[in-house]
Each structure stands twice: as structure tokens, then as C-alpha cells.
Amino acid sequence: QAPPIPGTRFRIRAAAGAEPMVGGANGLLKSAFRLWDSPVVLALVWVSAVISTVAVLSQQQQLFQASSAGCGRAAVPDSAYRGSAGVPGSTGGGLLGGRAGSADAAAAGTASEVSAALAALEPWASPQARHTALLALQRMGGNLLAHPGEPKYARIWKANSAFVKAFGSLHGHDAAMRAFGFRDDVEAEAWQFVDQVANRQHLEAAMSVLQRAISDLPQG
């Protein structure tokens, strides 16, 4: 029998002892996979994903706010659209309150101007003459509101016989025409009304004052 080759027995033993090591590694892998599939690990993974998502969204929101601030877009607080007491619809401070206050002030100014012009319209005239004049003025304003943009209603010739007879011959009629939005600086021979939104709003307010003046005239 031939003597064994030196070193051969050691290699064979080493190879034979390697199998348990491989089996142990497989066991560790199986344990790791079972641990990964466990509900606790899955819950931790989901929680981590949610936290990451929230962090990303928060960071994007901060970047957007910083970008908006850099572009000069200042956010308007809700209180700016409410009154000074923070109650919607109040006429205190805020944008809406300021606009409502401006509209009320404009209407009050129109009412004051029209009332003064009507009071100065030949005060010594008879009630019948004043009634005729006010009705003529009401007819001119009503035609403008009923037929916006119609040139024949927007221009009234001063020499027109019907105009002179009913209204144009009265003292102070020119102040009344201007109070109703008419102007004669474009054509000196005619009263003209420029059909714009602001002028129409002014005329509507003036017509309300005129209607009250007609109602206050003595009857008979």
C-alpha cells in the first residue's frame, strides 16, 4: 500500500467540514428572509416610507413659499377681505370694506350735488313749471339708461325747441345737466353724455334723487 500523499488528508477533512458551514449559512439566510417577511418589519418599512414622503412634501412647500416670497407675492390675509372686526360683510377695514365705503361715499357725493342743483333750478318758478322741468330731465336720463350708446340720446342740442321750452330756459339748468353727467366742453352747442360705467352709475344715483324730488312736489 502506497503511503498517502502529504497534505491530502487535511484537504479532504477540510472539504468534509465545509458542508456544515454551508448549511449554517443557508439557515441564516432563511432566518433573515423570515424576519423580513414579518409584520413588524413590514410595518416599520411603511412607517419609514410615510415619514420620508411627509418630509419631501414639507420641503417642497417650504421651497414654494420661499420662491413666492422672493417674487414679491405677499399672501393677502383673510382679514383683508373682511371688516375691521373680522366679520364678513362689515364695512370696516379691509379691501371689501374699503370698496363699499368708496361706493357709498361716491353715491353720497352724487346725491348732494344733484340735490343742490335741483334746489337751485329756478326756485321762483311755479310748481307746474318745476314739475314740467323735472319730468323733462327724468325723460332725458331715462332714455340714456334705456338706450345705452344711442347717439341721439347722448347728444342734446341746446337750441332744440322742445328742450328750451321744457328745461333749457330755466335758470340753473346748466348746473343740473352737469350734475346728471352731461358736459358741453366738447361741443359748446350741445350737451353730451359719455356712456361709461362710472357715468352710468352716477346717472342712476342722480335719477334716484330726481325721483324723490318729483314725489316731493306739491300736488294740484
pTM over 0.75? The answer is no
Q: What is the pLDDT of residue 35?
A: 55
Residue 112 CA to residue 96 CA, distance in Å, equals 24
Q: How far apart are alpha carbons 6 and 180 in whole angstroms?
A: 128
User: What is the structure's pLDDT at 108?
Assistant: 81
Reference 207, options 122, 106, 137; nearest CA is: 137
pLDDT at 42: 65
- The residue ranges of DSSP E strands in the chain, in sequence order, are 155-157, 182-183, 190-193
In this prediction, residue 106 carries a pLDDT of: 73
Point out which residues pair with 155 in neighbouring strands.
192
Q: What's residue 1's pLDDT?
A: 52
Nearest by Cα to 152 from 161, 162, 143, 164: 143
- The reported pLDDT for the residue numbered 71 is 47
Burial class (CB in 10 A: 0-12, 13-18, 19+), 2: exposed
Between CA 119 and CA 74 the distance in angstroms is: 50
What's the pLDDT at 68?
53
Could you list the pLDDT tens digit for every one of the 220 residues in the chain? Answer: 555 555 545 444 544 444 444 455 556 555 655 655 666 656 676 667 667 766 666 676 666 665 555 544 444 444 443 444 434 444 444 545 555 566 677 778 889 999 999 999 999 999 899 999 999 999 999 999 999 989 999 999 999 999 999 999 999 999 999 999 999 998 999 999 999 999 999 999 999 999 999 999 887 5
Distance CA 6, CA 162 (A): 142
The whole-number pLDDT of residue 217 equals 86
Quote the pLDDT of residue 34.
62
